[in-house]
A and B are shown apart, each in its own frame.
Chain A
Amino acid sequence: MKRNRIVPLLLITPFALITALVLAAIINIIVQSLGYMPVFGLYDFTLKYYIEELSRPEVLQSLGVSLHVALFSSVLAAILGTLICAALVRTGRTRGAMLYAVRLPILVPHTVVAVFTVALLAQTGLLARLAFALGLAGDYTEFPMLLYGKGYWGVILAYLWKEAPFIAYFSLALMANVSETLGEAAENLGASPLKSFFHITLPLSLPAIARGFIIVFIFAFGGYELPMLLGATMPKAFPVYTYIEFIKPDFKLRPYAMAMNGITLILSLLMALLYAVLMNRLMKRIGGAYEG
């Protein structure tokens, strides 16, 4: 093909414009969170909004809630997702009806997941009725309050329903490939299926699983719908709390909301950075032994 300088530039332009939009949003958050809002007569760059936010107990509690939700849902989703993925690979169901069932939760939006969760896990939901029928709970008040409670367990389970299949599907191509080639080779050389899985297939599938884990973690940490619909009134999940601060009509309070967004942004970037560093080290250890 003729090497042309203008064509590739034109090709990349729309992508660059969309990326510019994302960067503009990020810069806007950083600038406003540092207190620079000329329209409202705020000109001084300062860290005071961050410091004030981080010294408020409600903010710290709310951050704790979101970290708790993100950590539990993403760690459990990674473990269960890997198990589901391994089951799909082991039974050879890497296409067809089974895969459509596993992909279903990925297609279901969080608002609908909330409806599903209420039907199953509310104190008058199906699970509580089952517990009553089995004599495990005498009345619905005796069933653990999974929804709207401080433990946020309903939110965590709701994320799990959606994200474990996501990680399974996300890792499927790589794991199927590794298992078909190196995993089976190890078994042919006498390794048990379990040993071949834990020593060969799992470590080599880790890049995909880890990438899925990071996406899910950041999503659960920054997600709004599920904790808004299924979470406790106090403490609120961090994005829910941030939005409440954000829609306050007094624009002079805007830097506070933006500082909260800045905190989420920094934590998400740190997670992504941690992922990049760990992946780099993992790749060096595997040392290109397998080019998945």
Chain B
Amino acid sequence: MRDRLSAYQMKRRAGNRAGSRTMRIVLALTVFVILLPVIVTMIWTVTGRWPWPSMLPQSYTMRTLQELFSGSSPLYEILWGSVIIATVVAILGTLIALMTARATEIYRIRGRRLVSWAAMLPLIVPGTVFAMGIQVILIRMGLGDTVTGVILVHLVAALPYCVFIMTDITAAVGNSLEEQAQLLGAGPGRAFFDVSVPQLMPGILSSASMAYIISYSQYFTTLLAGGGKVKTLALVMVPYIQSGDRALSSVYAVTFVGSALLVFFIFEALIHRIMRTES
């Protein structure tokens, strides 16, 4: 019996090893395909001449970087605008999602199924359809071509993810500790901020970083709600792509991804720090 079992185990281990090897190859290929275009685009940012059919550029230049900083609308202004909008969307989206999650998970309001369907709605209705439908309404509200209007449509795009994340973590954290704090004499506000908020922090940060990235990436909704007057990085780079200037569009692409990743990793580092101090 013992021998048979170990024979089983040996067979399984051998199978496991072969399976793991295949899976490692799958992962290696995945990472290669993901990183290849990133690397090629980074090379393009400093490319002067890269004629067909050479595999590497024939000359390098700093022209693109100069144009990036001295173009018609200076980069730092556009970057600043995008960062402000995305930060506001991150804060508002997470706050609204936290409030919604408290209402459904802690107060157990009626119609929770309705809330979860409503949260899905912006994923079901394509962003293009929503943007063309809301434009006239924003104009009538006096929000056409304004930063506020752009923030509102970005919020709609980001909120589903914020609500999913905040609902999950609020349900997991619950409110028993908060109730205990209240029994021990803490006011409801203090019980929430001192007891629950630290526990919710990983969710709050991942919701905020998700909302930030989504807002930062919006093109069509920004174009319609902002009427081309509210300029973000996603908006100003499109004409360069359309013009076929690969070097210049690459430099915008790298700036874009670099600045988004920077924010993303700051959030990730914060989440890790909190997780570590908690455990």
**A residues in contact (CB < 8 Å) with B:** 1-4, 7-9, 11-12, 14-15, 18-19, 21-26, 28-29, 83-84, 86-88, 90-91, 93, 98, 101-102, 104-105, 107-112, 114-120, 124, 126, 128-130, 132-133, 140, 161, 165, 187, 190, 192-194, 215, 218-219, 221-225, 229, 239, 242-243, 246, 257-258, 261, 264-265, 268-269, 272
Contact = CB atoms under 8 A, between A and B. Distances in A.
B8 A268 contact: no
B184 interface: no
B124 A268 contact: yes
Contacts of A132: 52-53
B26 A87 contact: yes
Nearest to B42: A119
For the residues of A in contact with B, the DSSP-based class is helix
For the residues of B in contact with A, the DSSP-based class is helix
Contact of B134 (A15, A25, A111, A239): A25
Contact of B103 (A12, A126, A261): A12
B156 A140 contact: no
Interface of B: 8, 12, 15-16, 19-20, 23-24, 26-27, 30-31, 33-38, 40-41, 44, 52-55, 95-97, 99-100, 102-104, 106-107, 109, 115, 118-130, 132-134, 136-137, 152, 155-156, 159, 163, 175, 178-179, 182, 188, 213, 216-220, 234, 237-238, 241-242, 246, 249-250, 252-253, 256-257, 260-261, 264
A116 B37 contact: yes
A107 to B, nearest CB: 5
A269 B124 contact: yes
A110 B235 CA distance: 12
B52 A15 contact: no
Contacts of B106: 1
B124 A120 contact: no
Contacts of B156: 18, 21-22
Given A91-B24, A118-B241, A261-B132, A222 B126 contact: yes
A129 B54 contact: yes
B237 A111 contact: yes
19 contacts: A1-B179, A11-B100, A12-B100, A12-B103, A15-B100, A18-B156, A25-B125, A25-B134, A102-B31, A107-B213, A109-B218, A115-B241, A117-B37, A119-B37, A128-B52, A165-B30, A187-B12, A242-B128, A265-B125
Minimum-distance CB pairs A-B, first 7 = A222-B126, A25-B133, A109-B217, A116-B37, A8-B107, A11-B103, A87-B23
Given A107-B261, A112-B253, A265 B129 contact: yes
Contacts of A190: 8, 12
Given A11-B102, A14-B96, A90-B19, A19 B34 contact: no
Nearest to A261: B129
